[in-house]
């Protein structure tokens, strides 16, 4: 497998965690977003979306982190990203989509650059935008954890699922933008539990060879 990744990309961090959780080896290829390497013809030929991550397995290219995780779960089912019970699976998918569909699309680098380039947001205004949508999304995430009766050491009981794999990188990015995470004690407890596991701890952005 070949993983095209950028150290600070939360979706790339998701995939690094996911591959480590499954115990799958891969060759990393570093795509610098600040240098616009994701928009170069050579990368667009691989991934026409011009986004990271991208995974190449047996010559086929897979894109979109949640779709790649589904692929990995279907081709390497143990350990699974989803629990066995249908109700629990729906709960984990909903949590994962709060991160992947509600929070991340509003706060990724393309949106932040557009706000500053087109609408002339200052750095402070950009950060206010980021912090607002983090608060909106994490408030909902925390509420679901608390109301579900399903959360334990991790988002669903005491076993890592895709919800944890989505949550941790988003919390890392929130910390980078100085978001106040104190209103989300359950999220913080899950983060601490996850960081005790090598698949989360050793794949952190700061440990990546392309980190700066």
Q: Is 108 exposed, middle or buried (0-12, 13-18, 19+ CB in 10 A)?
A: middle
- Give CA–CA dist 31/59, Å, rounded: 19
Q: CA separation (Å) from 170 to 50, 53, 78, 99, 114?
A: 21, 15, 25, 7, 20
Q: For residue range 80-107, what is the model confidence (pLDDT) as tens digits?
A: 999 999 999 999 999 999 999 999 999 9
Q: For residue range 107-116, what is the model confidence (pLDDT) as tens digits?
A: 999 999 999 9
Residue 61's φ and ψ, nearest 5 degrees, are -100, 130
Q: For residue range 23-44, what is the model confidence (pLDDT) as tens digits?
A: 999 999 999 999 999 999 999 9
């Amino acid at each position: 497998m070949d993983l095209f990744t950028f150290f600070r990309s939360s979706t790339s961090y998701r995939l690094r965690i996911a591959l480590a959780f499954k115990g799958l080896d891969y060759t990393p290829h570093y795509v610098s977003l600040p240098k616009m390497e994701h928009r170069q013809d050579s990368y667009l030929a691989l991934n026409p979306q011009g986004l990271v991550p991208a995974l190449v397995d047996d010559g086929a290219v897979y894109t979109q982190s949640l779709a790649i995780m589904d692929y990995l779960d279907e081709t390497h089912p143990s350990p699974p990203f989803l629990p066995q019970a249908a109700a629990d699976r729906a709960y984990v998918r909903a949590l994962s989509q709060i991160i992947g569909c509600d929070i991340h699309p509003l706060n990724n680098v393309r949106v932040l650059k557009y706000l500053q380039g087109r609408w002339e947001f200052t750095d402070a205004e950009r950060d206010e935008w980021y912090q607002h949508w983090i608060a909106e999304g994490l408030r909902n995430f925390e509420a679901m954890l608390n109301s579900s009766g399903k959360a334990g050491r991790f988002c669903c009981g005491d076993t890592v699922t895709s919800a944890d794999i989505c949550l941790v990188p988003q919390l890392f990015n929130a910390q980078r933008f100085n978001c106040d995470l104190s209103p989300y004690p359950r999220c913080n407890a899950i983060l601490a539990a996850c960081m005790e596991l090598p698949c989360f701890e050793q794949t952190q952005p700061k440990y990546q060879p392309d980190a700066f």
